[in-house]
Chains A and B, each alone.
Chain A
Amino acid sequence: MLDLAVLAVIAQGQTYGYRIGNDLRDLGLGTVKGGTLYPLLARLEETGAVATTWREGKSGPGRKWYEITLTGRDRLLQEGARWRTFARLTSDLTDGPDTGTTSAAPAPASTRTLDAGAQ
C-alpha cells in the first residue's frame, strides 16, 4: 500500500526523497523513516516505475530526483483501481447492519481475487 502512496506522490511532479516523506506525513500517512522509504524508492526504480536524475543539491551533497514513468502510471492506475474496489467492499462489509450474521456465507469470487491482489 505504501508503494502506491509513494507512487501517487511522485505522480504529482518531480520530487526527491526527503520531500516525499514530508508529503506522505502531510497527507496523514504518518512518519515514513528513511530506512523504509529509500529501499522502497529503489525497488520502484528497479521495476521501471520511476526514472531518476542526479543534480547538485542545495545542502551540498548531490540530490536524486524521482519522476514517474509510463510504466509507473499504468501501475498506479491498475493498483489504484484495485485498491479503491477493495476499500469500497471492505467499507460496505464493515458498515452493514448484519455484519455478524453474514460471516458464515461463502465470499464472492471477485472478493477472493481482490484479497490475493491486495497481498
Chain B
Amino acid sequence: MTEHTPTPGLRTDTTEEVAERYCDELLLALRMKDVPGNRIGEVLAEVRDHLASSGEDPVDAFGMPQDYADALTAGRSAARWSARALDTAGNAAGVAGLLWAVAGVTALLTRQPAVLTEFQIVLPVAVAVVAPLLVDVVVTARRATVLGWGLLVTVALAAVAVLYAWMGPLINVAVPAAVLLVPGLLVAAAWIIATARTVDPVVDPLQDAVSTTRRRRRDGLLFTALLLLLVVPVVVSVSLQRLS
C-alpha cells in the first residue's frame, strides 16, 4: 500500500486536530508514567509521522492513549517507593519553606512578631501527599470517580476550614520574624533551584542540543518566575490584612 497523500480540500484541519488531541492525551499519560521528555518527544513524533503517512484514526492505529502508554512502558520497573517518598518530603519542605518565608516577610513588613502555628507544618505535608494523588486520579480515573474524589476533597477541606475557624490554632507561638524568615528562605530557595533543574520539557527529536539546553533553561526560569509571582501577592495580601 502506498503512503497516504492528503487530497487538497478534503483533508480538513479536523484530522490534524484529532491527531493533536490524541498526542496531548498521550503526552499526559506518558508523563504520569515518568517517561523522560526526550523519549516522549520521540513517541509523539513517531505517532504524528505514522498518522500523516497512513491517514488512520489515532485510536484505530494505536488504541486509547492510556493503553498505548502502558504498552510503551511495559516491563519498565516503576519508580521505587523510596524515590517517591523522597520527592514528597522535598515538596513538603519546599512548601513549608515558602509559607515560613511569607510569614517572616509579613512580620517584618508589619513590624510585628511572626506567629508559628500547626498550619505551617501540617499544610505543606498535606499538599505534598494529596496533590500528586489527586493528579493521578484526575488523569487515570473515569469521570465519575474524578467527580467523587473532587467532591470528597472539597467537603474535607471545607470541614477542616470550619473546624479551624471555630477552634483556632492549637499551637500559637510568637517568634521573631528572622526565626521563620531565614530558614524559610533557605529551604524555599533550595527547593526552587532543585525543582527548576529537574524541569524536563518534551523535546522534538530533530531539535539540536543547543536549542534543547536553551529550552530547559527557559522552562526552569519560567517555573521560578511563576512561583515568585504566586508568592508576592500572598505576602502583600497577608501584610495588608495584618496592618488593617
**Chain A residues near B43 (CB-CB < 8 A):** 38
Q: Is the CB of B206 within 8 A of A62?
A: yes
Nearest A residue to B41, CB-CB: A62
Known A62-B204, A64-B205; judge A39-B61 contact (CB<8 A).
no
Nearest to B4 among chain A residues (CB) is A59
Give the complex CA separation of A3 and B16 in angstroms: 31
CB-CB under 8 A from A90, the residues of chain B are none
Q: Is the CB of B49 within 8 A of A25?
A: no
Query: Is B30 part of the binding interface, using a Cβ–Cβ cutoff of 8 Å?
Result: no
Q: Of B68-76, B92-100, B212-220, which binds chain A?
A: B68-76
Stretch of B50-58, B188-196, B232-240 lying at the A interface: B50-58
A82 lies within 8 A of chain B by Cβ: no
Instruction: Let me know if B72 and A38 touch, CB within 8 A.
Output: yes
**B67 contacts the other chain (Cβ, under 8 Å)?**
yes
Interface segment, one of A14-22, A70-78, A108-116: A14-22
The smallest beta-carbon distance between B90 and chain A, in angstroms, is: 30
B53 and A18 form a contact (CB under 8 A): yes
Indicate if the CB atoms of B62 and A34 lie closer than 8 Å. Answer: yes
- Asked if B146 is at the interface (CB within 8 A of a chain A CB), the reply is no
- What residues make up the interface of B, taking CB atoms closer than 8 Å to A? 1, 3, 42-43, 45-50, 52-54, 56, 60-63, 67-68, 71-72, 74-75, 204-206
Q: List 5 A-B contacts (CB under 8 A).
A: A17-B46, A25-B1, A34-B56, A59-B49, A64-B205
Interface residues of A (CB under 8 A from B): 16-18, 22, 25-26, 33-36, 38-39, 42-43, 54, 56-64
